[in-house]
Amino acid sequence: MSAAPLLALRSVSKRFSAVQALDTVDVAVHRGQIHALLGQNGAGKSTAGKILAGLDAPDEGHVEIAGSPVWFGGRGDAIQHGIGIIPQADSLIDDLTLVETLALSQPHRVVRRRTLTAKLRSAASQAGVPIALDTPARHLSRGERQLGELVISLAQDARVLLLDEPTSALGPREVDTLFDRLRAVADTGVAVLLISHHLADVRHVADTATVLAHGRVVHTGPVAAVDDETLARAIIGDSQAPPPPPPFRAREPGEDVLVLSGVTATCGDPVPVRDISLRVRAGEVVCAVGVAGNGQRALAEVAAGRITPASGTVSGGRRVAYVPEVRLDALLPGRATWWSAMVTRLREPAFTRRGTLDTAALVHAAGALLDRHDVRPRDSRVAVTALSGGNQQKLIVGRELDSDPDVAVLHGPTQGLDLVATRAIHSEIRRAADAGVAVLVISADLDEARQLADRVVVLSKGRVLADVPASELDDTVAWRLTSGLPAADAAPSSVAEDDAE
């Protein structure tokens, strides 16, 4: 550790309007090490990652590579300096293979497929990843796509890998596989920066941890030298620890509100939903769980009425709240926050004056929504992209559940969020169900399903494998979920034979 780090931030500061995202931050990532960057949503983790990846520039301070200052003019410069990224939302193009995706990144006008294939095979061997190089990305699972991006970065001669919340949409088995591959890559001398808020991930794979709070470094050091309580206290910072969720209180559900009968539908994802029948009653939370890429998006969009099923029928309430998997799909990125907060209410008479929008009234109402749902910063005039992912998500969930819906379809409502933001959104969902809303949550998080749902639907390869009370979501059901085994009596010992699927 005495040698200069492969990649470092040195006294880096960055401000977005009224938000001080980073304040004189130092982070050093060393060769052969996995370095975890931790913090609440809004702590500055993603901003630090973007600066290191060449996607943003610091206001003050600089990036160092092997002890020498560098200034990136863009992502291409960072790639040339050996900085690879595996983003939270993968960047693969569905119709292209990994070889073709790598070809797009080459600076030369003429590239040889044989040469690129050889580079990818060498990189896959380095990482120990058995992956199909000539299969279009749309046919790869979420975990395979992530490993594909890792292999492409290594084929681009990456000496540093940056991963932003890489486990947010993965099941337990895929998480284990990813971490095994990251350790294998680090053992070859590559430096890895893992941006996360999951202490379990840090314990599993990281050598060193740096904690950011309010844009400043509040802890850094070896993971083995610090306990979970100290790390958690550093992450929460000077805020109060969120209260534990209240004990689960079974609700007496009402009549069926959302009903899918024999539904088959697709929305361009690799796996459609096939012949699904599902019902959600008033005042009930149903959680559809499964590893990403098994028909979740099609289920969400057909249940929310965004797409028409190819066969079968869907009936639901008159008012449907919808939170999509990709949060930017529910925001207006080029505008101030108040636009995104009020976009569903622009036609209400209270917000028009003589045929034009009453901006003052909209800003006032947006400010009240931000207060009500603890969205920070409170200034609705700042760009919505200046909000952290957690605050963007609280804005979307709050806006949708404020609309007095009959049905709420929430796809990954806490994906990539910290403990504080997760508990806030869970409280919102419970309040909606208590008020009689029929809630369908689509999640990859088994613990979330246990904590939140009345019933759990297990989804695999576009089909429902099980529909059980949440209290019956035992380890056998969990193994069935992560392995894709159709048999109701699938046991953990039988999973190993299916790992290659």
Which tens digits make up the pLDDT trace of 305-320? 999 999 999 998 789 9
Write down the mean pLDDT value for the chain.
Answer: 86
Q: Which amino acid is at 473?
A: L
Give the bridge partners for 446, in sequence order: none
* Whole-model pTM over 0.85: no
Q: Do domains 7-236 and 256-328+405-498 have the same CATH topology?
A: yes
Domain boundaries, the chain: 7-236, 256-328+405-498
How high is the pLDDT of residue 237? Answer: 63
CA distance 426 to 430: 6
How high is the pLDDT of residue 280? Answer: 97
Taking only the tens place, the pLDDT of each residue in 173-194 is 778 888 999 999 999 999 999 9
**What distance lies between CA 26 and its chain's CA centroid?**
25
Give the bridge partners for 193, in sequence order: 35, 162
- Band the pLDDT of 481: cuts 50, 70, 90: low
| pLDDT over 90 (residue 162) | yes
Q: What is the CATH number of domain 256-328+405-498?
A: 3.40.50.300
CATH topology of domain 7-236: Rossmann fold (3.40.50)
Share of the chain above pLDDT 90, in %: 54
Taking only the tens place, the pLDDT of each residue in 41-82 is 778 898 999 999 999 999 999 999 999 999 999 999 999 999
Please, is 301 exposed, middle or buried when counting C-beta atoms within 10 Å of its C-beta (0-12, 13-18, 19+)? Answer: buried
DSSP state of 159: S
Q: How many CA atoms lie within 13 A of 339 on its CB side?
A: 11
Q: State the average pLDDT over residues 403-411.
A: 96
Taking only the tens place, the pLDDT of each residue in 271-306 is 789 999 999 999 999 999 877 778 899 999 999 999
Taking only the tens place, the pLDDT of each residue in 219-256 is 999 999 999 888 888 887 655 555 555 555 666 889 99
CB neighbour burial string for 275-289, b if at least 16 within 10 angstroms, e if fewer: ebebbbbbbbbbbbb
